[in-house]
Amino acid sequence: MTLLGIIAILAGFTLLIVIHELGHYFAARWAGIRADGFAVGMGPTALSWRRGVGLVAGSTDRIVRARHGRSAIELSDEELRRHGIGETEWSLRWLPIGGFVKMLGQEDLRPTGNDASERSYASVGVGKRMVVVSAGVIANAVLAVILFMIAFLVGVRFPAPVIGDTFVGLPAATASASNAAALGVADPGLLPGDRVLTIDGSPARTFDDLMIAAAMSPPNTPLALAVERPGVDGPLEFTILPAVDPISNLLSIGVAPASSTRLDDHAQSLAFLEPALSQTGLGAAGVKPGMELTALDGALVSTWEEFDRLVRRAEGRPVMTRWENPDAPGAAPIEVPLVARPALDALVIPGAAGEPGVQDRELGLLGLTPRARIESVPADSDNRDRLRAGDIVIRAGDLVHPRAVELRRSFMARPRQSVAMVVLRDGVEVEVRASLNRRGQMGVVLGYDLDHAVISRPVDRLVAAGDQVVPSPIADAALIPGSRIDAVDTTSIATWADLRQALRQATAEAASSKSSATVTLTVTAPTPGAVASQVEMALSAADVERLHALGWGTPLGASLFEPVMVRLSADGNPLRAIGMGFTETHKLIVMTYLTIYRLMQRTVGVEQLRGPVGIVHLGSQVVDQGWAYLVLFLAMISINLAVLNFLPLPIVDGGLFLYLVYEKVKGRAPPAGFQNAATLVGLCLLAGIFLVTFYNDVMRLFG
């Protein structure tokens, strides 16, 4: 969040407010209503200008009163003309929240007040007052169309509707295409590289369309997806019921966008990317965030999936990577070898008794899992002075040598608490006290210690094919967490890569004959003076097959690269840009009302709402992506401002419009008591919404 970004977004907000209030102002002038004030912001007046008085600090009223004995609002039109004073005071208020047009005889906090003057708000017809009340909303909607048109004339890039990965435990991971067999597709599930063509029959233009469709879907209502897959003649048809994502608390099908080969250089990604570049040796060779991988062993690559496939095919052989800087076309490319890492198994661990359907997934081998290690500590982490990159977790609270997922689960149950920890730092155990945020997170990047063949708490039970829970191969060994594995049969080992290789060598004959095997582990317990002991591990034929099916993993994950992008553009055609602007405006109006409806259905949580602080924070990040994104963002906020202002709530324009509808039908305004009570309720409601969203915003900033 940069100062320039904050200034830009605040200026944009000011524009939206000014346009909204100008809508009211010009409509009032058209209706013949006297406009005594036009204010941006709330509270005391900081600066004001009035024709005949000029620019002054504070309100111009004190000068008018000093000259003519009365304030401007107390002077008649004729007196204002005779003294050469403008009827409207244009002011900037100290509190940068909203704005208003002060019309004669109309006050939000005194809705039953009126004025007998023919230029009073109450003196003009109901139809004209309806135009005045709704003019601000119309102005914001028109502005949104114009801003969208400008953005689409330039062109704006979004993540493409292409699948990059599916998340375990969410519906997409187990989805199947209903017409897979008819199209001759062997793997009916969603795969990396699949492009979503339509969602419930509507075109999917961006990956955000898919995310929003899932989040806004009615409860217990599946999404129908048409998916294009390279090499398949015709779209695959999926029906997927969204489920609540435990991270976002929104309905989701559980997919991530496909990644390109350009390293992500956004600030929020650097905490993950920089350690990866360092560990692979790419950083030392000059590879930096924002650079693009263009070739692997001379073969051109354009997506992360291609990169991953070629690395896996090398089966551990170093591959030569070529990196170029797209922002410096003349710079010489960097060529540096990259070694794939041997893939560990994704152990599926059942939940405890009483938690049916709950599963965890942990990296490991045959029930053995590495120790949790802190990969990096971002500069904005609350634990930046307590924890360091490379710290290995020995103890956290009551957990000794916990598995990574086990550690996360324990912390999530203790939000906003501090936890006593012991970490291994440079070979020495160090006591620290880590603080957890409101989500029960340490604010660090957690990974695995693969450099030492030391185990965390072993896994006794595993989920096998068909969701059957079976004992793990190591279940009867009674290994102590923190034990070091020194050898497999007669082969000495030091790292997890060594352990995997030794296990595969020891079971090579069993793999060929598809039979079971028994291997002997030499293990040293984590106690002073402990001597090595031997433990036998019986492997079934399925265990052996699974062990030998493990391939190689790409040392740079897809999340470290920018998504594959698609450009939404009118291609310089103004008429097409106008059409796209109207389409996007209509879509967002419907989406905003739908969001409010989903809030009432509780499929969208209150914690998802943002207030002024959160919008400024988000907007300042958008500014970093370019001015076209800022224009697009302001168009979206303008639509939200229009919709929220026209809700049927007291105080806002929609509530005032309902009063006028009542007056038109009944021939009289609503009773004074009702209007006063409704005004009080409206104020309390708006104050409550402000407090909730402000709390959410602050927690996002500091959590």
C-alpha to C-alpha distances, 21 to 112, 407, 572, nearest whole angstrom: 22, 53, 32
State the DSSP string of 164-214: EEE-TTSGGGG--BTTTTTTT-S--S--TT-EEEEETTEE--SHHHHHHHH
Taking the C-alpha atoms of residue 466 and residue 580, their distance in angstroms, rounded to an integer, is 48
Banded pLDDT at 409 (limits 50, 70, 90): confident
CB 553 within 8 A of CB 341: yes
Three-state helix/strand/coil letters over 66-89: HHHCCCHHHCCHHHHHHHCCCCCE
State the DSSP string of 617-669: HHHHHHHTT-HHHHHHHHHHHHHHHHHHHTSS-TTSHHHHHHHHHHHHHHSSP
Helix, strand, coil share of the chain (percent; to 5): 40, 25, 35
**Residue 679 carries which DSSP code?**
H
Please classify residue 76 by burial: count the beta carbons closer than 10 Å to its beta carbon, then call 0-12 exposed, 13-18 middle and 19+ buried.
Answer: exposed
Place of tokens 């944009």: 12
Taking the C-alpha atoms of residue 106 and residue 423, their distance in angstroms, rounded to an integer, is 66
Banded pLDDT at 122 (limits 50, 70, 90): confident
CB 457 within 8 A of CB 481: yes
Banded pLDDT at 475 (limits 50, 70, 90): confident
CB 410 within 8 A of CB 397: yes
Does pLDDT of 665 surpass 70?
A: yes
Taking the C-alpha atoms of residue 248 and residue 604, their distance in angstroms, rounded to an integer, is 10
C-alpha to C-alpha distances, 404 to 176, 407, 409, 457, 600, nearest whole angstrom: 31, 5, 9, 10, 37
CB 533 within 8 A of CB 523: yes
Taking the C-alpha atoms of residue 431 and residue 385, their distance in angstroms, rounded to an integer, is 13
Please classify residue 571 by burial: count the beta carbons closer than 10 Å to its beta carbon, then call 0-12 exposed, 13-18 middle and 19+ buried.
Answer: exposed
Structure tokens at 614: 């959160």
At 570-612, the pLDDT tens digits run 888 888 888 888 888 888 787 777 777 777 767 666 666 666 6
408 in helix, strand or coil? helix
Residues 6+ apart with CB under 8 A from 499: 365, 368, 453, 485, 488, 493
Helix 672-702 and helix 653-666, axial crossing angle in degrees, nearest 10: 160
Taking the C-alpha atoms of residue 538 and residue 473, their distance in angstroms, rounded to an integer, is 6
Helix 627-645 and helix 574-601, axial crossing angle in degrees, nearest 10: 50
CB 140 within 8 A of CB 168: no
For all residues of the chain together, what is the average pLDDT?
85
Residue 46 is predicted with a pLDDT of 93
State the DSSP string of 322-346: EEE-TT-TTSPPEEEEE-PEEPPEE
**Average pLDDT in the 653-666 region?**
90
Give the dihedral sign, CA 550/551/556/560: negative
Residue type, 592: T
Banded pLDDT at 354 (limits 50, 70, 90): very low
Torsion, Cα of 293, 163, 548, 488 (10° steps): 70
Does pLDDT of 356 surpass 60?
A: no
∠ CA 44-49-55 to the nearest 5 degrees?
100
Strands (E), 408-500: 418-425, 428-435, 445-449, 461-463, 469-471, 484-488, 491-492
Residues 6+ apart with CB under 8 A from 606: 599, 692, 696
216 in helix, strand or coil? coil
538 forms beta bridges with 518
Buried b (16+ CB within 10 A) or exposed e, 295-321: bbbeeebebbbbbbebbeeeeeeebeb
Residues 6+ apart with CB under 8 A from 317: none
Residue 609 is predicted with a pLDDT of 65
279 in helix, strand or coil? helix
At 156-179, the pLDDT tens digits run 888 899 998 887 678 888 888 999
Q: Which of the pair, 651 or 335, is modelled with greater confidence?
A: 335
Banded pLDDT at 621 (limits 50, 70, 90): low
Distance, CA of 594 to chain centre: 19
CB 483 within 8 A of CB 524: yes
Does pLDDT of 100 surpass 70?
A: yes
Residue 499 is predicted with a pLDDT of 93
Torsion, Cα of 12, 18, 21, 26 (10° steps): -130
Place of tokens 């793997």: 187
At 295-319, the pLDDT tens digits run 999 999 888 888 888 888 888 888 9
At 227-250, the pLDDT tens digits run 998 888 889 999 999 988 876 777
At 26-59, the pLDDT tens digits run 999 999 999 999 999 888 999 999 999 999 999 9
Residue 596 is predicted with a pLDDT of 76
Distance, CA of 584 to chain centre: 21
At 357-381, the pLDDT tens digits run 556 778 889 889 999 999 888 877 8
429 forms beta bridges with 424
Calculate what percentage of the chain has a pLDDT beyond 70. 90
Taking the C-alpha atoms of residue 354 and residue 501, their distance in angstroms, rounded to an integer, is 38
Segment of 353-357, 670-674, 691-695 carrying the highest mean pLDDT? 670-674
**Average pLDDT in the 657-661 region?**
91
Length, in residues, of the chain: 703
